[in-house]
Amino acid sequence: MKGITPVITTVLLLLMAVAAVGGAWVWYQRMQTSAMAGGSGQVDQLRKTAVSISVDKLVCTDSWYVLTLANTGTTTSTITNVTLSLLSSGAVVGYFPAFEVSANTLVSKNLTGATNNCATGTMYVVDARIGASYILRDQPITAQAN
């Protein structure tokens, strides 16, 4: 074959091959990014299910609050920012210092920074966090006598 036609055909075929490889590379990069994001979300979900904190009871003893939390999960966790508020008004009664809860155990802590006396039979709300994530949010509990 003579002339320019075979050269143009060869160049067009090479351009098509390069475009196909480039398109496949872009698709692969997007799929890899999507898979990594999905995998990260799955790991976060597994971590959350490994920690299962619940309020066991709130007891009034000599004008003090004693909160008992249960960790029914499989991971030891450090709980921070635990606050106790009145259900009726939302006023914060006090807070509990950060503490560690081992897997499958109960832990009791005394309230610090109390603004009023403990009242048996009163409804309270408990909020607690692990890091920045709430593990308990507006969890209602009634104070019991010792």
How do the pLDDT tens digits run along the chain, 146 residues long?
577 888 888 899 999 999 999 999 999 888 888 877 766 666 665 555 566 788 888 888 766 788 888 888 888 888 888 888 888 888 888 888 788 888 888 888 888 766 567 778 888 999 888 877 788 888 888 888 87
Q: Whole-model pTM? A: 0.60
* Predicted local distance difference test score (pLDDT) of residue 107: 85
* Predicted local distance difference test score (pLDDT) of residue 18: 92
Q: Is 53 exposed, middle or buried (0-12, 13-18, 19+ CB in 10 A)?
A: buried
